[in-house]
Amino acid sequence: MRIDIVTIFPEYLDPLRGALLGRAIERGLLSLDVHDLRRWTYDVHKGVDDSPYGGGPGMVMKPQVWGEALDEVCAGEPPRLVVPTPAGRPFTQAMAHEYAGESRLVFACGRYEGIDQRVIDDASTRMRVDEVSIGDYVLVGGEVAVMVMVEAVARLLPGVLGNPLSAEQDSFSDGLLEGPSYTRPEVWRDRAVPDVLRSGNHKAIDRWRRDQAIERTFERRPDLLAALPAESLDKHDRAL
Ligand SMILES: Nc1cc(-c2ccc3cc[nH]c3c2)n[nH]1
């Protein structure tokens, strides 16, 4: 997978080159190119923003600069263009899996009050464009949102995670939250690991883990339970 990111703060994305993702890049499992938007400015001040039509606070990012940047970065095989915004469609694990199946992703990091809408409208005539939110809170720019999405997507690529089962048993993979995890010691500050986990009875362990996942989902994210297909909860699950 080829990932391109356009931003006015390229150094903000440096952490993506460390640790697990850095190793995946070194191993050629994905490529990551970060582009400074100011490369496509021509004025001495390298301006990327201007006042909003209709008035209002803050500044809007200019369409000319973004248009030329995306023309160049998106050239070649048409990518999926992802534009983080608080007004976007919620980013989910299902979308992370969808993106992991793409051969090219381009992320456009806005700043200020965002990017002139015509940039998205124009790009949509040539490629799939998703305006995506990573949560119902407002960040200062798109860079942190892009780091969240790149990490969520990259970890799903074959070979990136040491144990592929980790991704299969993620929270949300079966529509439920993951239950609690435990490791040594057996007792810590007078708190013991649940006996079932030390029983060696894997049928009982799997049942206990599913019960914990359903109970935790019920308590913390009842909306996920409501969205589950009826057939995915058996009689035992419903009796919880
Ligand atoms: N989910 C979420 C996205 C954002 C976001 C995304 C891009 C920009 C550009 C300027 N402010 C931004 C905020 N905040 N919260």
Q: ipTM of the predicted structure?
A: 0.99
What is the band of 152 on the pLDDT scale with cuts at 50, 70, 90?
very high
Mean per-residue pLDDT for 220-229?
Answer: 92
- pLDDT at residue 166 tops 80: no
Strand order in the sheet with 104-108: 31-36, 2-7, 104-108, 80-90, 128-133
The tokens for 69 are 């940047």
CB 146 within 8 A of CB 119: no
Pairing of strands 60-61, 49-50: antiparallel
Atom of ligand 1 nearest to the CA of 134: 1
Give one DSSP letter per residue of 29-82, joined into a string. S-EEEEEEGGGG--STT---EEPPTT--SS-EE-HHHHHHHHHHHT-SS--EEE
What is the band of 168 on the pLDDT scale with cuts at 50, 70, 90?
low
Q: What separation in Å is there between the alpha carbon of 218 and the centre of ligand 1?
A: 30
- pLDDT at residue 235 tops 90: no
Residues acting as catalytic residues: 86, 113, 155, 170
- pLDDT at residue 177 tops 70: yes
Q: Does the C-beta of 142 come closer than 6 Å to ligand 1?
A: yes
CB 47 within 8 A of CB 71: no
Q: Does the C-beta of 115 come closer than 6 Å to ligand 1?
A: no
Q: What separation in Å is there between the alpha carbon of 187 and the centre of ligand 1?
A: 44
Q: Which of 139, 144, 149 to mutate to test the pocket of ligand 1 (most atoms within 8 A of CB)?
A: 139
What pLDDT sits at residue 71? 98
Provide the 10 A C-beta neighbour count for residue 39. 14
Q: Does the C-beta of 61 come closer than 6 Å to ligand 1?
A: no
Mean per-residue pLDDT for 135-143?
Answer: 98
Q: Among 138-142, 152-156, 165-169, whose mean pLDDT is lowest?
A: 165-169
Q: Does the C-beta of 60 come closer than 6 Å to ligand 1?
A: no
Mean per-residue pLDDT for 20-31?
Answer: 92
What pLDDT sits at residue 131? 98
Q: Does the C-beta of 138 come closer than 6 Å to ligand 1?
A: yes
Q: What is the mean pLDDT of the chain?
A: 94
- 79: CB partners within 8 A, 6+ apart: 2, 4, 102, 104, 105, 106, 127
What is the band of 169 on the pLDDT scale with cuts at 50, 70, 90?
low
- Residue located via tokens 């305006």: 131
What pLDDT sits at residue 32? 96
What is the band of 232 on the pLDDT scale with cuts at 50, 70, 90?
confident
Three-class SS of residue 5? strand
What pLDDT sits at residue 19? 85
- Closest CA to ligand 1's atom 12: 141
Burial class of residue 135 in the structure, from the number of CB atoms within 10 Å of its CB (0-12 exposed, 13-18 middle, 19+ buried) = exposed
What is the band of 3 on the pLDDT scale with cuts at 50, 70, 90?
very high
Quick one: what percent of the chain has pLDDT higher than 90?
85
- The crossing angle, in degrees rounded to 10, of helices 93-100 and 143-154 is 70
Q: Which of 138, 146, 147, 148 to mutate to test the pocket of ligand 1 (most atoms within 8 A of CB)?
A: 138
Q: What separation in Å is there between the alpha carbon of 130 and the centre of ligand 1?
A: 14
- pLDDT at residue 55 tops 70: yes
Instruction: Give the number of residues written for the chain.
Output: 240
Q: Does the C-beta of 132 come closer than 6 Å to ligand 1?
A: no
The helix (H) or strand (E) run that includes residue 208 is: helix 202-220
